[in-house]
Amino acid sequence: MIKLSKFLVFISLTFFGVSKSWAQGTLSDGSKWHWNKGTIVIETPQRPAGQQNALQLAAPKLNVVRVGFVGLGMRGMPAVERWTHIPGVQIVALCDYNKNNAEKCQDFLKKASMPNAAIYYGEKGYVDLCKRNDIDLVYIATDWLHHVPVAKCAMENGKHAAIEVPSAMNMKDIWELINLSERTRKHCMLLENCIYDWYEMNTLNMAQHGVFGEIVHASGAYRHCLSPYWDAYWKKDADDKLGWRLEYNMKHRGDVYATHGLGPVAQVLNIHRGDRMKTLVAMDTKSYTGKALVKERTGKDVDFRNGDFTTTLIRTENGKMIDINHDVMNPQPYSRMYQLVGSKGFANKYPNEGYALTSADLKSFGIKPSRENISNHDYLPEADKKALETKFYHPILKKYGEMAKEVGGHGGMDFVEDSRLVYCLQNGLPLDIDIYDLGEWCCLAELGALSMDNNSAPVEIPDFTRGFWHKQKGYTHAFASPEDEAEAERIAKEFTKGMKSGGEKFLRKYWKAEAQKTKRNKKR
């Protein structure tokens, strides 16, 4: 009987031409996809039993954030230096594949009068770092293939994880991190610094105050010719002629670096806070430059998977559109695009920063226009742009902007990011970027490849919150009450002062007293 029904299915698929609607494949996480009316639909893995969503996840306050860094190359080293400027931070451990890199970072600590950190190195050095019981946060700036193993090890050992962009490279990585963060209740933050740049922060504030009306279209990009860097990326050994980044691009299609462009606009569009990314379509060019780079280095003609230029179009549940570009191959001025098109106004960052609004719009926000007849068919005059930016200067920049300009890191945005992360941990608040942002901003890699490998077919994007994307109404940053904030700052500054003057001795005494306090509280 079973044999007969199988035969009938085969006959109907073959002779009635419906085989396409049955075709299906599997993604990196093992979830199946199938066709539905020309769209690729992906099964969303069920939330494991007993596990809650991690929306607005907040962890107990940490008076002092004890951090271990893993991956100390071009990006990781300056991060260590920046963190020496944040009050209430102790740098406990430094880890890199190369011992030298880790040891070099002790100089930053020495310069800041901070005690030496413990050094770990080698392929698995991070495992011992994660097992320490005196670390709260593991900050990961390795090559892309090590992001997830290190983050998993951190969370499994009771630590929060913060991972450089793009934190997860495929659906398997994404779901593993989501499940682990939901299960352990540990933060797993994608370190997207570009959401903290001045233009993006102020424009987000404007959007949240309705300056642009209903935003219907948003663009973002990572267009940055990496030719000066390809040979500077970490190489496994002498046989590695490409370095990790060129090799990854060679092997993978899709927007493998989408978060700088997508992150800032996803916040503006309230993704998984009232709207969600529903469908994507991706298209790329052939690889010309990428292929030539490999030929130069290896003499081989390879099938270079990543197109020189990739575009991903996304439609949201509420009918908005997002356009994300990726090109790290061709010479061009650096651009993250960042453009918002709204029913009342327009914002654009690259190549020319500006806003298009009328004089009447400015007046409605209490701004006196420089002249009466400003039209929204052109950019605002410079004086009006300045007045708009002053009016909507973001509170986070008011707090950290000045110091961030001094400490630096991509003009200061990196330090604003670091400071906000520490602020949220010290005050026990939800972070600015949650685990579902990580899923959404990183999924363009594998889902884009799936679209392109199927003639740029539409792909349904899973709801990474698994049913809660409309629970929160609008994107918000969390803030402590002024009293709690002042108290957290006082404790943080006092700790740093003590650590810088008293060194190891101070730390031993401080943590002994903290352990006793915890013991007493448990007994109560």
Ligand X SMILES: NC(=O)c1ccc[n+]([C@@H]2O[C@H](COP(=O)([O-])OP(=O)(O)OC[C@H]3O[C@@H](n4cnc5c(N)ncnc54)[C@H](O)[C@@H]3O)[C@@H](O)[C@H]2O)c1
Q: Is 142 in the site for ligand X (CB under 6 A)?
A: yes
Of 146 and 394, which has the nearer Cβ to ligand X? 146
Q: Is 101 in the site for ligand X (CB under 6 A)?
A: yes
Interface residue with ligand X, options 136, 164, 255, 284 (CB under 6 A): 164
Shortest distance (Å) from residue 448 CB to ligand X: 17
Of 228 and 366, which has the nearer Cβ to ligand X? 228
Q: Structure tokens of 123?
A: 């392929």
Shortest distance (Å) from residue 416 CB to ligand X: 13
Q: Is 11 in the site for ligand X (CB under 6 A)?
A: no
What single-letter amino acid sits at 25? Answer: G
Interface residue with ligand X, options 66, 82, 85, 146 (CB under 6 A): 146
Return the number of other C-beta atoms located less than 10 Å from residue 385's C-beta.
16
Q: Is 94 in the site for ligand X (CB under 6 A)?
A: no
Q: Is 69 in the site for ligand X (CB under 6 A)?
A: no
Question: In the window 392-421, what residues touch ligand X (CB under 6 A)?
Answer: 410
Q: How far apart are CA 518 and CA 510, in angstroms?
A: 12
Shortest distance (Å) from residue 338 CB to ligand X: 15
Q: How far apart are CA 241 and CA 233, in angstroms?
A: 11
Interface residue with ligand X, options 21, 24, 26, 98 (CB under 6 A): 98
Instruction: Determine the interface stretch with ligand X among 74-82, 328-336, 447-455, 469-477 (rule: CB under 6 A).
Output: 74-82
Cβ-proximal residues to 37 (8 Å cutoff; 6+ apart), any chain = none
Interface residue with ligand X, options 65, 72, 93, 94 (CB under 6 A): 72
Instruction: Spell out the SS3 assignment of 206-263.
Output: HHHCCCCCCEEEEEEEEECCCCCCHHHCCCCCCCCCCCHHHHHHHHCCCCCCCHHHHH
Of 73 and 408, which has the nearer Cβ to ligand X? 73
Of 173 and 463, which has the nearer Cβ to ligand X? 173
Phi, psi for 312 (deg, rounded to 5): -120, 125
Q: How far apart are CA 332 and CA 339, in angstroms?
A: 18
Instruction: Determine the interface stretch with ligand X among 92-100, 289-297, 384-392, 426-434 (rule: CB under 6 A).
Output: 92-100
Interface residue with ligand X, options 27, 70, 397, 422 (CB under 6 A): 70
Shortest distance (Å) from residue 445 CB to ligand X: 12
Shortest distance (Å) from residue 236 CB to ligand X: 8
Q: Is 144 in the site for ligand X (CB under 6 A)?
A: yes
For tokens 């030298």, name the residue.
100
Q: How far apart are CA 146 and CA 149, in angstroms?
A: 6
SS3 369: coil
Instruction: Determine the interface stretch with ligand X among 136-144, 350-358, 424-432, 462-470 (rule: CB under 6 A).
Output: 136-144
CA-based end-to-end distance of the chain: 69
Determine contact, residues 281/458, Cβ cutoff 8 Å: yes
Of 165 and 178, which has the nearer Cβ to ligand X? 165
Return the number of other C-beta atoms located less than 10 Å from residue 300's C-beta.
9
Of 164 and 463, which has the nearer Cβ to ligand X? 164
Q: Which residue is nearest to ligand X (CB)?
A: 73
Q: How far apart are CA 299 and CA 121, in angstroms?
A: 33
Of 169 and 206, which has the nearer Cβ to ligand X? 169
Q: Is 231 in the site for ligand X (CB under 6 A)?
A: no
Interface residue with ligand X, options 29, 35, 47, 73 (CB under 6 A): 73
Of 22 and 334, which has the nearer Cβ to ligand X? 334
Q: How far apart are CA 417 and CA 404, in angstroms?
A: 9
Burial of 396 (0-12, 13-18, 19+ CB in 10 A): buried
CA-to-CA separations, 93 to 100, 108, 109, 174, in angstroms, rounded: 14, 13, 11, 26
Q: Is 355 in the site for ligand X (CB under 6 A)?
A: no
- Binding residues for ligand X, total number by CB under 6 A: 26
Interface residue with ligand X, options 40, 95, 397, 404 (CB under 6 A): 95
Instruction: Determine the interface stretch with ligand X among 45-53, 118-126, 299-307, 437-445 (rule: CB under 6 A).
Output: 118-126
Burial of 77 (0-12, 13-18, 19+ CB in 10 A): buried
Of 79 and 396, which has the nearer Cβ to ligand X? 79
Interface residue with ligand X, options 80, 86, 129, 143 (CB under 6 A): 143
Return the number of other C-beta atoms located less than 10 Å from residue 509's C-beta.
12
DSSP H/E element including 431: none
Rule CB under 6 A: which residues touch ligand X? 70-76, 95-98, 101, 123, 125-126, 141-144, 146, 164-165, 193, 233-234, 410
